[in-house]
Structure 1
Amino acid sequence: EQDISKTAFRTRYGHYEFLVVPFGLTNAPTVFMDLMNQIFHEFLDKFVIVFIDDILVFSKSKKEHEDHLLTVLETLRQEKLYAKFSKCEFWLSSVAFLDHIVSAEGIMMDPAKVEAITKWPRPTSVTEVRSFLGLAGYYRRFVEGFS
Protein backbone atom coordinates (compact mmCIF):
# COMPACT_ATOMS: atom_id res chain seq x y z
CA GLU A 1 0.00 0.00 0.00
CA GLN A 2 2.61 2.56 1.04
CA ASP A 3 4.72 1.91 -2.08
CA ILE A 4 2.00 2.41 -4.69
CA SER A 5 3.05 6.02 -5.22
CA LYS A 6 6.61 4.93 -6.11
CA THR A 7 5.50 3.57 -9.48
CA ALA A 8 2.87 6.22 -10.17
CA PHE A 9 3.10 8.21 -13.37
CA ARG A 10 1.22 11.04 -15.01
CA THR A 11 0.34 11.55 -18.64
CA ARG A 12 -1.78 14.21 -20.27
CA TYR A 13 -4.67 11.76 -19.84
CA GLY A 14 -4.38 11.48 -16.09
CA HIS A 15 -2.54 10.11 -13.07
CA TYR A 16 -1.99 6.33 -12.90
CA GLU A 17 -0.85 4.02 -10.12
CA PHE A 18 0.03 0.33 -10.31
CA LEU A 19 -1.88 -1.76 -7.79
CA VAL A 20 0.33 -4.79 -8.47
CA VAL A 21 4.01 -5.07 -9.35
CA PRO A 22 4.36 -4.15 -13.03
CA PHE A 23 6.50 -6.13 -15.45
CA GLY A 24 9.90 -4.68 -16.19
CA LEU A 25 10.92 -3.22 -12.84
CA THR A 26 14.58 -4.12 -12.40
CA ASN A 27 14.38 -5.33 -8.81
CA ALA A 28 10.83 -6.74 -8.89
CA PRO A 29 11.85 -10.44 -8.91
CA THR A 30 14.35 -9.91 -6.08
CA VAL A 31 11.91 -7.94 -3.96
CA PHE A 32 9.13 -10.47 -4.55
CA MET A 33 11.42 -13.40 -3.74
CA ASP A 34 12.40 -11.65 -0.51
CA LEU A 35 8.72 -11.15 0.34
CA MET A 36 7.95 -14.82 -0.30
CA ASN A 37 10.89 -15.90 1.88
CA GLN A 38 9.67 -13.62 4.68
CA ILE A 39 6.05 -14.74 4.69
CA PHE A 40 6.88 -18.46 4.40
CA HIS A 41 9.99 -18.32 6.62
CA GLU A 42 8.67 -20.66 9.32
CA PHE A 43 7.60 -23.26 6.72
CA LEU A 44 10.59 -23.17 4.35
CA ASP A 45 12.27 -26.55 3.91
CA LYS A 46 9.76 -28.09 6.34
CA PHE A 47 7.00 -28.40 3.76
CA VAL A 48 7.42 -25.40 1.45
CA ILE A 49 9.95 -24.39 -1.18
CA VAL A 50 9.50 -21.10 -3.01
CA PHE A 51 11.17 -19.70 -6.09
CA ILE A 52 9.79 -16.28 -6.99
CA ASP A 53 6.11 -17.08 -7.60
CA ASP A 54 6.40 -20.88 -7.69
CA ILE A 55 5.38 -22.51 -4.41
CA LEU A 56 6.14 -26.19 -3.95
CA VAL A 57 4.32 -27.89 -1.06
CA PHE A 58 5.50 -31.36 -0.05
CA SER A 59 4.24 -33.79 2.57
CA LYS A 60 4.58 -37.36 3.80
CA SER A 61 0.87 -38.20 3.85
CA LYS A 62 -2.37 -37.03 2.26
CA LYS A 63 -3.69 -35.72 5.58
CA GLU A 64 -0.47 -33.83 6.23
CA HIS A 65 -0.58 -32.46 2.68
CA GLU A 66 -4.13 -31.22 3.19
CA ASP A 67 -2.98 -29.37 6.32
CA HIS A 68 0.07 -27.96 4.54
CA LEU A 69 -1.98 -26.72 1.58
CA LEU A 70 -4.44 -25.06 3.92
CA THR A 71 -1.58 -23.35 5.77
CA VAL A 72 -0.04 -22.07 2.52
CA LEU A 73 -3.34 -20.81 1.12
CA GLU A 74 -4.25 -19.12 4.41
CA THR A 75 -0.82 -17.48 4.56
CA LEU A 76 -1.25 -16.13 1.03
CA ARG A 77 -4.69 -14.79 1.90
CA GLN A 78 -3.46 -13.13 5.11
CA GLU A 79 -0.72 -11.40 3.13
CA LYS A 80 -3.20 -10.36 0.41
CA LEU A 81 -1.39 -12.42 -2.21
CA TYR A 82 -3.69 -14.24 -4.57
CA ALA A 83 -2.97 -17.41 -6.51
CA LYS A 84 -4.43 -17.76 -9.97
CA PHE A 85 -6.06 -21.16 -9.57
CA SER A 86 -5.99 -21.86 -13.31
CA LYS A 87 -2.18 -21.92 -12.98
CA CYS A 88 -2.15 -24.05 -9.82
CA GLU A 89 -1.75 -27.82 -9.68
CA PHE A 90 -2.70 -29.79 -6.59
CA TRP A 91 -2.18 -33.35 -5.34
CA LEU A 92 0.57 -34.26 -7.81
CA SER A 93 2.69 -37.35 -7.23
CA SER A 94 5.52 -35.76 -9.22
CA VAL A 95 6.17 -32.21 -10.34
CA ALA A 96 8.51 -30.38 -12.70
CA PHE A 97 10.32 -27.75 -10.61
CA LEU A 98 13.34 -25.70 -11.71
CA ASP A 99 14.09 -28.10 -14.58
CA HIS A 100 13.98 -31.18 -12.34
CA ILE A 101 11.33 -33.81 -11.71
CA VAL A 102 10.57 -34.10 -7.99
CA SER A 103 8.66 -37.07 -6.55
CA ALA A 104 8.61 -39.40 -3.55
CA GLU A 105 11.33 -41.41 -5.30
CA GLY A 106 13.67 -38.40 -5.32
CA ILE A 107 14.91 -35.74 -7.71
CA MET A 108 15.86 -36.48 -11.30
CA MET A 109 16.66 -34.60 -14.46
CA ASP A 110 13.78 -33.51 -16.63
CA PRO A 111 13.78 -35.92 -19.62
CA ALA A 112 13.32 -32.96 -21.98
CA LYS A 113 16.59 -31.48 -20.68
CA VAL A 114 18.38 -34.81 -21.09
CA GLU A 115 17.25 -34.86 -24.71
CA ALA A 116 18.36 -31.25 -25.23
CA ILE A 117 21.83 -32.05 -23.86
CA THR A 118 22.24 -35.23 -25.93
CA LYS A 119 21.17 -33.40 -29.10
CA TRP A 120 23.29 -30.31 -28.41
CA PRO A 121 25.45 -29.56 -31.46
CA ARG A 122 29.20 -29.88 -31.06
CA PRO A 123 30.61 -26.54 -29.87
CA THR A 124 32.86 -24.77 -32.36
CA SER A 125 33.95 -21.76 -30.30
CA VAL A 126 34.98 -20.94 -26.76
CA THR A 127 31.67 -19.14 -26.22
CA GLU A 128 29.71 -22.22 -27.34
CA VAL A 129 31.79 -24.47 -25.04
CA ARG A 130 31.07 -22.16 -22.10
CA SER A 131 27.37 -22.18 -22.95
CA PHE A 132 27.26 -25.97 -23.05
CA LEU A 133 29.26 -26.32 -19.82
CA GLY A 134 26.85 -23.93 -18.12
CA LEU A 135 23.89 -26.09 -19.11
CA ALA A 136 25.61 -29.40 -18.36
CA GLY A 137 27.09 -28.11 -15.09
CA TYR A 138 23.62 -27.38 -13.76
CA TYR A 139 23.04 -31.16 -13.76
CA ARG A 140 26.48 -32.24 -12.48
CA ARG A 141 24.98 -34.03 -9.47
CA PHE A 142 23.38 -36.52 -11.86
CA VAL A 143 26.53 -37.24 -13.89
CA GLU A 144 29.08 -39.53 -12.28
CA GLY A 145 32.62 -38.21 -12.74
CA PHE A 146 31.51 -34.75 -13.86
CA SER A 147 34.06 -32.16 -12.77
Structure 2
Amino acid sequence: MMVCALAVGLAAACSSSANHMPATSVATDSSTPSAAAESGTTPGPDAAAAITIEGYRFATPIGVGPGAQVTVKNEDTVEHSVTADRGDAFGQDVDGGGTAVFTAPTRSGTYPFHCTYHPHMQGVLVVVALHRGQK
Protein backbone atom coordinates (compact mmCIF):
# COMPACT_ATOMS: atom_id res chain seq x y z
CA MET A 1 0.00 0.00 0.00
CA MET A 2 1.37 3.37 -0.96
CA VAL A 3 1.38 5.95 1.76
CA CYS A 4 1.64 9.66 1.19
CA ALA A 5 4.21 11.40 3.34
CA LEU A 6 4.28 15.12 3.63
CA ALA A 7 7.24 17.25 4.42
CA VAL A 8 6.51 20.87 4.97
CA GLY A 9 9.08 23.57 4.70
CA LEU A 10 8.21 26.24 7.16
CA ALA A 11 9.56 29.68 7.52
CA ALA A 12 8.80 31.84 10.47
CA ALA A 13 10.46 35.05 11.29
CA CYS A 14 9.63 38.36 12.84
CA SER A 15 11.16 41.67 13.59
CA SER A 16 9.38 43.94 16.02
CA SER A 17 10.13 47.49 16.99
CA ALA A 18 9.33 46.51 20.57
CA ASN A 19 12.04 43.89 20.84
CA HIS A 20 14.40 44.64 17.91
CA MET A 21 14.89 40.93 17.23
CA PRO A 22 16.57 40.23 13.88
CA ALA A 23 14.49 38.50 11.24
CA THR A 24 15.67 34.96 10.59
CA SER A 25 14.31 32.01 8.69
CA VAL A 26 13.93 28.36 9.59
CA ALA A 27 13.04 25.63 7.10
CA THR A 28 12.91 21.87 7.14
CA ASP A 29 14.62 19.74 4.50
CA SER A 30 11.95 17.98 2.43
CA SER A 31 14.30 15.03 1.92
CA THR A 32 14.42 14.25 5.64
CA PRO A 33 12.04 11.42 6.54
CA SER A 34 9.37 12.38 8.99
CA ALA A 35 7.97 10.31 11.83
CA ALA A 36 4.78 9.90 9.80
CA ALA A 37 6.72 8.56 6.82
CA GLU A 38 8.76 6.21 9.00
CA SER A 39 5.68 4.81 10.72
CA GLY A 40 3.73 4.53 7.46
CA THR A 41 0.83 6.64 8.72
CA THR A 42 -0.45 10.13 8.34
CA PRO A 43 -1.96 12.00 11.26
CA GLY A 44 -5.68 11.64 11.70
CA PRO A 45 -8.31 13.73 13.43
CA ASP A 46 -7.48 12.13 16.77
CA ALA A 47 -3.73 12.72 16.44
CA ALA A 48 -2.24 15.30 18.79
CA ALA A 49 -1.98 18.49 16.77
CA ALA A 50 -0.04 21.42 18.16
CA ILE A 51 1.53 24.63 16.96
CA THR A 52 4.21 26.01 19.25
CA ILE A 53 5.31 29.62 19.13
CA GLU A 54 8.75 30.32 20.52
CA GLY A 55 11.35 32.95 19.68
CA TYR A 56 8.92 34.63 17.27
CA ARG A 57 8.71 31.44 15.18
CA PHE A 58 6.02 28.83 14.53
CA ALA A 59 6.68 25.11 14.90
CA THR A 60 3.87 23.17 13.24
CA PRO A 61 2.86 19.52 12.95
CA ILE A 62 3.62 17.74 9.67
CA GLY A 63 -0.09 17.30 9.11
CA VAL A 64 -3.40 17.25 10.93
CA GLY A 65 -6.65 15.48 10.19
CA PRO A 66 -9.67 17.34 8.87
CA GLY A 67 -11.52 19.01 11.74
CA ALA A 68 -8.76 18.18 14.26
CA GLN A 69 -8.45 20.25 17.41
CA VAL A 70 -5.18 22.20 17.11
CA THR A 71 -3.57 23.44 20.32
CA VAL A 72 -1.51 26.62 20.07
CA LYS A 73 1.09 27.09 22.82
CA ASN A 74 2.75 30.51 22.98
CA GLU A 75 6.14 30.24 24.71
CA ASP A 76 6.90 33.92 24.08
CA THR A 77 6.00 36.70 26.52
CA VAL A 78 4.03 38.75 23.95
CA GLU A 79 0.68 38.08 22.29
CA HIS A 80 0.71 36.33 18.91
CA SER A 81 -1.96 35.03 16.57
CA VAL A 82 -2.37 32.10 14.21
CA THR A 83 -4.45 33.61 11.40
CA ALA A 84 -5.19 31.96 8.04
CA ASP A 85 -3.94 34.00 5.08
CA ARG A 86 -7.07 33.28 3.01
CA GLY A 87 -10.64 33.62 4.15
CA ASP A 88 -11.67 32.76 7.65
CA ALA A 89 -10.44 29.15 7.80
CA PHE A 90 -9.07 29.80 11.31
CA GLY A 91 -7.82 32.59 13.49
CA GLN A 92 -6.73 32.45 17.09
CA ASP A 93 -5.03 35.01 19.35
CA VAL A 94 -2.81 33.62 22.10
CA ASP A 95 -1.55 35.69 25.02
CA GLY A 96 2.11 35.51 25.95
CA GLY A 97 2.70 32.29 27.90
CA GLY A 98 -0.82 31.13 27.03
CA THR A 99 -2.52 28.27 25.24
CA ALA A 100 -5.52 28.27 22.91
CA VAL A 101 -7.33 25.74 20.71
CA PHE A 102 -8.92 26.03 17.28
CA THR A 103 -10.54 23.58 14.86
CA ALA A 104 -8.61 22.77 11.67
CA PRO A 105 -10.45 23.14 8.37
CA THR A 106 -12.44 20.09 7.28
CA ARG A 107 -11.07 20.07 3.72
CA SER A 108 -7.65 18.63 2.90
CA GLY A 109 -5.10 21.15 1.70
CA THR A 110 -2.41 23.57 2.71
CA TYR A 111 -3.38 26.61 4.73
CA PRO A 112 -0.72 29.32 4.96
CA PHE A 113 -1.02 31.47 8.08
CA HIS A 114 0.66 34.40 9.80
CA CYS A 115 0.74 36.38 13.05
CA THR A 116 -1.37 39.53 12.74
CA TYR A 117 0.83 41.29 15.31
CA HIS A 118 4.10 40.25 13.67
CA PRO A 119 3.38 39.79 9.91
CA HIS A 120 6.79 38.31 9.17
CA MET A 121 5.92 35.27 11.29
CA GLN A 122 4.51 32.77 8.82
CA GLY A 123 3.73 29.06 8.71
CA VAL A 124 1.64 26.45 6.91
CA LEU A 125 -0.98 24.12 8.37
CA VAL A 126 -1.39 20.97 6.26
CA VAL A 127 -4.72 19.15 6.54
CA VAL A 128 -4.43 15.53 5.40
CA ALA A 129 -7.28 13.06 4.96
CA LEU A 130 -6.65 9.50 6.12
CA HIS A 131 -6.07 6.86 3.50
CA ARG A 132 -8.44 3.93 3.43
CA GLY A 133 -7.35 1.23 5.84
CA GLN A 134 -5.64 3.63 8.26
CA LYS A 135 -6.91 4.23 11.72
TM-score for the superposition, normalised by structure 2: 0.24
More helix by share: 1
